Amino acid sequence: MSDQTWHQSQGMLNWLKNYQRAFLIGDVSAGVIVALLLIPQGVAYAIVAGLPPVTGLYASILPPLAYALFGSSMVQSVGAQAITALMIGTTLSTMAPPGSPLNLVLAAQMALIAGVTLLVCGALRLGFLASFLSRPVMSGFTSGSALVIAGEQLRPLLGGALTSVRPYSACIGLGSLLLMWLAKKYLARLLEQIGIRKKWADTLSRLAPVAVLLTAMLLVSAFGLNQLGVAVVGKVPSGLPDIGFSVSNDHWRALLGPSMLMAFVIFLFSQSAAQSLAQKRNERIKVDHELFGLGAANLLSAVSGGFPVTGSISRSAVNYEAGANTPLASVISAAILALVLVAPTGWLSWLPMPVLAATIIIAVVGMIDFATLKESWNYDRSDAAAMLGAAGGVILLGIEAGVILGVALSLASIIWRASHPHIAVLGRIAGSEHFRNIHRHEAETLADVLMLRIDSDLFFGNADIVVGHVENLLNERTSQGLHTHHVLLVMSAVNVIDTTALHALIELNKNLRDRDITLHFSEIKGPVMDRLQRSHFMNALPDVQLFLSTAQAYHYFEMHPPLSR
């Protein structure tokens, strides 16, 4: 018998209490592999963010520990991530020169504000807000950002602008890019062919960029290529960072909006990473635990010289594939990075910038999602348009405007949807007690009766539109020479009638009465009816008939033909 249970995410160290020895091998190997990835990624994304390279390492130590304590995904890898790095860079570029000490302080402040925002949202249980960015919008936003990041990396890849390429830099940059691309495309298959198990072949091939980077580093230091124009990272301070926040109110004020937007983006990416992996692991993510985990991670990043962090989809996938069973894997990664920082860090200074650029390009190009574009184009053009809108917004207006545009597109779509409920004109299937949409089924109707089924709750967002629709239908009937005596609203799909809709119904009844039309209801659900009876609805609608079933109403109308018939 298969296990039919979805495991609730545990969080809050429950994973440690229930730790089994069998988990250990997977956790250790995943921890080591993710640490190997985190070193170049941390350095590269710190540079994207316009920060000193070492901050990327700071951001990879305490934040994952905080997430391990409070987060709910077992395999999430929290730390530097490409798109949040781009957002940091964009925000800070208007406030201080890249790499300056002030930048460092401001980045920590962004993490602080984002962390507090996430914790507050967790406390207010606002996690459901994440559902208001659609998959195509999210994918458009990601693809647009990836294009922007890749574009920005062309200059470090080539050692200069297109008109002033440095030959050694360009060779080493383009060469590494080619190698990484080939590895990404063919290495896993090659390793499988020489007998390595698929899972390990996949994981090893993900480490190819690290291998290319190490090789390039060795070449640069061996041949002194840095003296021939190949830029390197330069001095990386070892040990722990200096901490401090700006006391300028102007800085806080300028950072508030972008950092709260950042909190939203952090949550979206982390959520999307956690959820795709939870599905593979038969787990369910607790949205509010996620908010706490990410909030705590960002607070700790802020007080340890880091910058805003989030769950990385690609790195979390590596963590999972390399065998991670619990957050212990992240704890091990963090420990390794702490050791790297405590040990002499001289070797890190040899990391060649063109190869770091190649690493970033390879990573972000994988985020460009033509598949979703093609699919939505075929399935739902409005989804495709939303995706192109979000991507275009990021590319043309910048990343913050892109997020806001994406949210606005999604919101407008939710509101439009909520404000345009489906309303079916019903008829009776001959010889039965079934009532169906007359535009889809052969159904019989009574000449002086309009029967409508409202396929939605009735609330402020659609009340006026529903009433207007009823009036339009009556106008149509009048213009067809049909005289209406009864309007029946079938309420089988209405679970809520709010105050605004209640008033709209009372108004509708008044207007119908002025036209000698009687309003009736059928199939009002129990909880809706209970509430209506508590209100003045029944007094306001003294002449309204309520039928338990639509068939009863139909029978009543058949028995009460108009005198003119």
Residues of this chain, 453-492, that bind its own copies according to CB under 8 A = 455-457, 459-465, 468, 471-472, 474-475, 477-479, 483-484
Min separation Cβ 529 and its own copies, Å? 11
| # binding residues, its own copies (CB under 8 A) | 79
Q: Considering only CA atoms, which of 100, 110, 13 is closest in space to residue 59?
A: 110
Q: Hey, is 427 helix, strand or coil?
A: strand
Please identify, using beta-carbon distances, which residue of 152 and 471 lies nearer to its own copies.
Answer: 471
Selected binder of its own copies within 185, 199, 235, 422 (CB under 8 A) = 422
| Closest CB 122 distance from its own copies, rounded Å | 16
Among 13, 198, 516, 548, binds its own copies (CB under 8 A): 516
Residues from 103 through 122 that contact its own copies (CB under 8 A)? none
Among the listed ranges 57-65, 72-80, 341-349, 502-510, the one in contact with its own copies (CB under 8 A) is 502-510
SS3 8: strand
Stretch that binds its own copies, among 162-170, 191-199, 236-244, 494-502 (CB under 8 A): 494-502
| Residues 6+ away with beta carbon under 8 Å from 81 | 45, 269, 309, 310, 311, 312
128 DSSP assignment:
G
Site for its own copies in 526-565 (CB under 8 A): 526, 531, 534-536
Q: Please provide the DSSP assignment of 317-367 as one string.
A: HHHHHTT--STHHHHHHHHHHHHHHHS--GGGGG-BHHHHHHHHHHHHHTT
State the nearest-atom distance from the C-beta of 406 to its own copies, in Å. 12
What does the alpha-carbon distance between residue 291 and residue 270 come to, in Å, rounded to a whole number? 9
Kind plus residue range of the DSSP H or E element containing 486: strand 486-490
Residue type, position 485, single letter: H
Q: Which is nearer to its own copies, 58 or 459 (CB)?
A: 459
Task: Supply 512's token pair.
Answer: 């119908």
Amino acid at 553: A
**Any idea what the Cα angle at residue 281 is, between residues 275 and 282, rounded to 5°?**
85
Supply the minimum distance, in Å, between the C-beta of residue 562 and its own copies: 11
When binding is defined by CB under 8 A, the residue of 242, 442, 514, 543 that contacts its own copies is 514
Q: Which lies closer to its own copies via its Cβ, residue 3 or residue 242? A: 3
In the numeric block, which tokens belong to residue 215?
Answer: 């090789």
Region 137-196 residues binding its own copies, contact defined as CB under 8 A: 137
Q: Which of 35/517 has CB closer to its own copies?
A: 517
> Which CB sits closer to its own copies, 193 or 382?
382
User: Of 498, 491, 420, 505, which is closest to residue 458 (Cα–Cα)?
Assistant: 498
Q: Is 499 in the site for its own copies (CB under 8 A)?
A: yes
Tell the smallest beta-carbon distance from residue 47 to its own copies (Å).
33
Output 155 or 525, the one with its CB closest to its own copies. 525
Scanning residues 216 to 275, which ones bind its own copies (CB under 8 A)?
275
Amino acid identity of 383? D
Burial 379-389 (b: 16+ CB within 10 A, else e): eeeebbebbbb
Q: What's the min distance (Å) between Cβ of 495 and its own copies?
A: 5
CB-based contact 166:158 (threshold 8 Å): yes
Place of tokens 């781009």: 86
Residues of this chain, 368-397, that bind its own copies according to CB under 8 A: 372, 375-376, 378-380, 383
Q: Which of 182, 496, 538, 548 binds its own copies (CB under 8 A)?
A: 496
Question: In whole angstroms, what is the distance from residue 565 CA to residue 448 CA?
Answer: 9
Fill in the amino acid letter for 120. V
Residues between 28 and 87 with contacts to its own copies, criterion CB under 8 A: none
What's the min distance (Å) between Cβ of 326 and its own copies?
Answer: 21
**By C-alpha distance, which of 337, 314, 272 is closest to 81?**
314
Judged by beta carbon, residue 274 or residue 356, the one nearer its own copies is 274
Residue count of the chain, please give it. Answer: 565
Nearest to residue 286, comparing CAs of 3, 6, 80?
A: 6
Site for its own copies in 396-415 (CB under 8 A): 410-412, 414-415
Write out the binding residues for its own copies, residues 4-33 only, by CB under 8 A.
4-6
Which one, 17 or 534, has the nearer CB to its own copies? Answer: 534
Residue 94 binds to its own copies (criterion: CB under 8 A): no
Residue 299 φ then ψ, to 5°: -60, -45
CB of 58: closest distance to its own copies in angstroms? 34
Told to check if 284 binds its own copies by CB under 8 A, we report yes
Q: Are 389 and 409 a contacting pair, CB within 8 Å?
A: yes
